[in-house]
Every structure is written in structure tokens, then in C-alpha cells.
């Protein structure tokens, strides 16, 4: 005997009863198929438990240790009369109501049951439905619209005219295999625009029949952060890779896995910059009116380190608990920056000179090394300092600190203009660092400055040679006309 509760009444309030079956379509909209790069020849399905149903105004929990909770706004069909081996022409007669649904999925759990989606889509609260039912007799199944908003911004907008498989075909096809019973729910697939949401986000889905005034109303769900972890002694743990990230976010670009081509440093220019000291570059930039180009307060982790590369920027904002909850977990800006740094790039981190926590640790340093980054510069601290040093990637920082990122920072965005160590750094700026510190070269001036600095190095070497021979510095440093003539003659012999 099934005992109904007040909680059941609230959860299934938008439906005539607790559904016996919830059947969902894997892929049905052309826009989504094009996004995924595959178009099925026939529909395929999976089941969701009725225990996953939730009502409008409820919450969905992103489990601890996961990052890829994705929304999917959908049109839900509620069966009104039994359907067994019905034709496409008759199928719509067995649908009583239409409403909105959100087929939430946790991509972190797809690895071991992809296709069945038992774990990834069956969680409590993973199927909000409602809030109002639309009479199926009053609408054209080929002219329904589904829209989804995230935090008030429209994310999905499509109509059933964009379906690969019409709604009636889905009903008829399913009836070939199982008897559709009154109260059963069919989730008819999601269009392009599905993406990842994080704790604090509010997702709204609405289904309507434009021009008729008939609407489901907005189905509202708020994402919260869970605290319970999965037990590794019972089942497999969450796991993700870049393929899952791209599918969850909707594209590699949205997931931060690919970005615009970063400027490639000319090998000849790079060789020159490796030979010239930062102090020489600083002097040449000063001659050209650029004084605020040094990243102050940072020192190399390994004495004698020299770095040259183009900037890939990462920005942290001051720590605030609610913002860290929404932006600090999962596949955040920090992880995306380290996952997408290119060969020869230097990750430059804006930490506002705040040294009260780490801004990276050994795992991210290792990731940067495997991506062949040229180095890391942060005006904040480094956690796991000895382990990072052992990894060997060049790091310039404000020192070591044992605390985790969230103590002082929220990872906010990457590939934007930032401020690091008191100077502005833009993506693609040329970064050069040595024992004197780190300097930022505007790309348009880099070749000119490098050549001038190398020329100055030759002159300084000549001056040092003369001082070593016993000459006084008066008139030699800087050189007067007489010494300049001697220097020019010396150069012609070399």
C-alpha cells in the first residue's frame, strides 16, 4: 500500500497524480543535434524515477564534489488515456496536458551509466514540473514554445517546429514498446542553450502556445550546494573530463576549453628578450615614457630563473562567502585558466597583493607545466610551495602561504585586462622576468625596446671593461663625447 503525504501533494501538485513512469528523450531538437554534431535517425529514451519530481519554487542540490550540473528546459506531456501501439495520427488524442519541465543532469556521474542516466538524472529534485497544466486539446502540438532563463537572462528559446521527431511520433513510438498509462509523463527533449548552473543560480522554464495566451507559467528552481559526499566504498565517484565539460556547458568555448588564438611570440624576439635583463628593458621603457610597467612585490621561486612569454590573465576578487559559493567551486575561472593556457604563455594572476592565502598549488602548477606554459606570475601567495618548486615550472610570487584560495579570494574571470603587482596587464602582453623582477612589454614596442636594450647592454659591457681596467667613472658613465668616440671605434673592431 502506498501512503501519500503532504510532501507528495506539494511535489506532484502540478500533475494529476504521482506518475507511474517518466520517460525522457535523449535528443529531439535540430538545434541541439547540430550543437552536439550528431542527428539521430530515430528517437531514443531513458527513464527517470518519480522520486525526482519537484514543484515550482523548489530547489535542486548540486552534490558535494561535483561541478557540472546542467539545466534542460523541456516540454512535458502528461498522458490522459492508455496508449498501446497507437498510430501517429491518433497519438495526440492520448495526451491530456502539456506543461514545463526541467530535465536536470549531473554530468559528473555520466561515466558509468551514460545512456541510462540513472545516477546523472535520477536524483531527488532533478525533474521539476509545472506549475500549470495546459489542455492538450486547446493547442497545436506543432506550435508550442519552450523558453529557459538563468538569473533572468534568456538561455533557451525554441518551438516544436524545430523538433526532429514531432510530439505525436514520440507518443506513438513509445506505445510500440510500453503501455502508456494515465499520469505518465514524457519529457520531449531540450533545444540548444542548455548549460551549467552553479549554487545561487535561479532557473526558470516556461512552455506556451504563442498567440493563444495559454501558458504553463514559469517553473522556478534555485540551485543550492550540497554537503554530503559520495561513498567510494559503495559506488563509483564523480569524474569529469574535457569532453563532459564541453557537453555540459554546451560548447568547448563556453566551458573555457578553447579560446581565441593567443599571440605567438616571434622566436627571434623571444631569443633577444631571453638575453636582455629586465633592468635594461625597464630603462628603455622609461625613455619612452612608460614607468608603470613593473609587476612589483614578486620574486622568483627558483633563483636565476628567466621567463619570457605572452600573458594569459586570471582575476581574483576579494573573498566574500556568498560569491565564493557561487563562483569558487566546480569548474571555476581559476581551473579554466590553467586548463586552457597555451604553450609559451605565462599565467598572470591578479590577487591585489593579498598574500593571506595561496593563489595556486601543486596540482595547478603541474597542469600549467603539462600545457607547456612558460611560467606563472602572481602578486599573491603560493600554497604547497615546496611541491610547486619541485615541479619546476617557473613561478614568480609574493611568497608562500598555507591557506586555501577561498580564505581571501574568489576566482572571477580570465582572459581580461587585470592589475597585477601595481601594473595593468592585458592578454597577449609580453612578460619578461628575472632576478630583478617582472616587467610588462606592450607588444607594439617589444622589438624596438629589445633591440635598444641589447645595444645598451653592449655599451654597458664596454663601460664595465674600462672600469675594470682602472678608469674612473667620471665622463665614462654615462659616456661623454670622447668616450663615445672610443666606444664607436671599439664596436667597429668587433
**pLDDT tens for residues 389-442?**
999 999 999 999 999 998 999 999 998 899 999 999 999 999 999 999 999 999
Max distance between CA atoms of the chain, in angstroms, equals 108
Tell me the per-residue pLDDT of 332-365, one tens digit each, with 9 for 90 and over.
889 989 988 999 999 999 999 999 999 999 999 9
- Alpha-carbon 168 to chain mean position: 38
pLDDT band at 74 (very low <50, low <70, confident <90, very high): very high
- pTM recorded for the entire structure: 0.56
Evaluate the omega torsion of the peptide bond into residue 478 and state whether it is cis, within 30 degrees of 0: yes
**In this structure, are residues 282 and 293 in contact, taking their beta carbons and an 8 Å threshold?**
yes
Q: Which residues pair with 146 in a beta bridge?
A: 158, 207
Model pLDDT for residues 143-194, shown as the tens digit of each residue: 999 999 999 999 999 999 999 999 999 999 999 999 999 999 999 999 999 9
Which residues participate in the annotated binding site for Mg(2+)? 384
CATH architecture of 6-249: Alpha-Beta Complex (3.90)
DSSP character string of 18-84:
--S-EEEES--BHHHHHHHT---SS--EEEE-GGGEE-TTEEEEE-TT---EE--EEEEEEE-S-BS
DSSP reduced 3-state for 369: helix
Contact 244, 107 (CB under 8 A): yes
User: In 120-210, at which residue ranges do the beta strands (DSSP E only) sit?
Assistant: 127-135, 145-150, 153-159, 185-187, 202-209
The CATH number assigned to the domain with range 267-445 reads: 3.50.30.40
pLDDT at 36 over 90: no
Contact 321, 274 (CB under 8 A): no
- Confidence class of residue 21 from pLDDT cuts 50, 70 and 90? very high
- Among 400, 393, 426, residue whose Cα is nearest residue 307: 393
Domain residue spans in the chain? 6-249, 267-445, 451-492
Which amino acids are annotated as binding site, given as ranges?
361-364, 383-384
- Known binding residues for substrate are 361-364, 383
Tell me the mean pLDDT in the region 191-217: 95
The span from the CA of 146 to the CA of 81, in Å, is 24
pLDDT band with cut points at 50, 70 and 90 for residue 258 = low
Helix 333-340 with 362-370: angle, nearest 10 deg: 30
Contact by Cβ (8 Å): 340, 419: no
Amino acid at each position: 500500500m502506498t501512503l501519500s503525504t503532504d510532501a507528495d501533494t506539494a511535489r506532484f501538485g502540478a500533475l494529476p497524480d504521482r506518475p507511474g513512469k517518466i520517460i525522457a528523450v535523449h535528443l529531439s531538437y535540430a538545434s541541439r543535434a547540430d550543437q552536439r554534431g550528431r542527428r539521430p535517425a530515430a528517437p531514443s529514451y531513458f527513464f527517470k524515477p518519480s522520486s525526482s519530481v519537484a514543484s515550482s519554487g523548489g530547489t535542486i542540490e548540486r552534490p558535494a564534489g561535483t561541478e557540472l550540473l546542467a539545466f534542460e528546459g523541456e516540454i512535458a506531456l502528461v498522458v490522459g488515456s492508455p496508449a498501446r501501439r497507437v498510430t501517429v495520427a491518433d497519438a495526440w488524442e492520448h495526451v491530456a496536458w502539456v506543461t514545463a519541465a526541467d530535465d536536470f543532469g549531473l554530468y559528473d556521474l555520466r561515466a558509468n551509466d551514460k545512456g541510462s542516466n540513472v545516477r546523472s538524472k535520477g536524483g531527488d529534485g532533478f525533474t521539476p514540473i509545472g506549475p500549470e497544466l495546459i489542455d492538450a486539446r486547446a493547442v497545436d502540438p506543432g506550435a508550442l514554445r519552450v523558453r529557459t532563463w538563468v538569473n533572468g537572462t534568456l538561455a533557451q528559446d525554441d518551438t516544436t517546429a524545430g523538433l526532429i521527431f514531432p510530439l505525436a511520433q514520440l507518443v506513438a513510438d513509445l506505445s510500440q514498446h510500453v503501455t502508456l498509462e494515465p499520469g505518465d509523463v514524457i519529457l520531449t527533449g531540450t533545444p540548444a542553450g542548455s548549460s551549467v548552473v552553479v549554487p545561487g543560480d535561479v532557473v526558470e522554464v516556461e512552455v506556451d502556445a504563442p498567440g493563444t495566451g495559454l501558458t504553463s507559467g514559469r517553473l522556478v528552481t534555485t540551485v543550492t550546494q550540497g554537503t554530503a559526499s559520495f561513498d567510494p566504498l559503495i559506488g563509483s565517484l564523480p569524474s569529469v573530463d574535457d569532453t563532459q565539460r564541453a557537453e555540459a556547458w554546451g560548447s568547448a568555448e563556453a566551458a573555457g576549453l578553447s579560446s581565441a588564438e593567443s599571440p605567438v611570440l616571434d622566436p627571434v624576439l623571444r631569443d633577444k628578450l631571453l638575453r636582455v635583463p629586465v633592468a635594461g628593458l625597464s630603462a628603455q621603457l622609461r625613455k619612452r615614457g612608460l614607468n608603470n610597467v613593473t609587476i612589483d612585490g614578486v620574486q622568483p621561486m627558483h633563483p636565476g630563473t628567466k621567463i619570457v612569454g605572452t600573458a594569459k590573465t586570471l582575476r581574483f576578487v576579494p573573498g566574500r562567502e556568498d560569491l565564493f559559493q557561487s563562483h569558487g567551486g566546480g569548474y571555476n575561472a581559476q581551473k579554466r585558466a590553467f586548463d586552457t593556457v597555451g604553450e609559451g604563455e605565462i599565467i598572470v594572476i591578479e590577487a591585489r597583493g593579498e598574500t593571506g592565502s595561496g593563489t595556486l598549488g601543486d596540482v595547478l602548477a603541474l597542469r600549467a607545466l603539462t600545457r607547456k606554459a612558460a611560467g606563472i606570475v602572481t602578486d599573491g601567495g603560493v600554497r604547497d610551495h615546496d611541491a610547486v618548486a619541485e615541479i619546476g615550472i617557473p613561478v614568480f610570487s609574493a611568497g608562500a602561504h598555507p591557506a586555501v584560495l577561498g580564505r581571501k579570494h574568489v576566482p572571477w574571470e580570465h582572459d581580461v585586462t587585470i592589475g597585477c603587482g601595481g601594473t595593468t596587464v592585458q592578454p597577449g602582453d609580453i612578460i619578461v622576468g628575472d632576478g630583478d623582477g617582472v616587467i610588462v612589454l606592450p607588444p607594439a614596442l617589444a622589438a624596438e625596446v629589445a633591440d635598444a636594450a641589447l645595444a645598451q647592454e653592449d655599451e654597458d659591457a664596454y663601460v664595465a671593461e674600462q672600469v675594470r681596467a682602472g678608469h674612473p667613472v667620471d665622463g665614462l658613465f654615462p659616456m661623454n663625447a670622447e668616450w663615445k668616440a672610443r666606444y664607436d671605434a671599439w664596436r667597429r673592431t668587433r
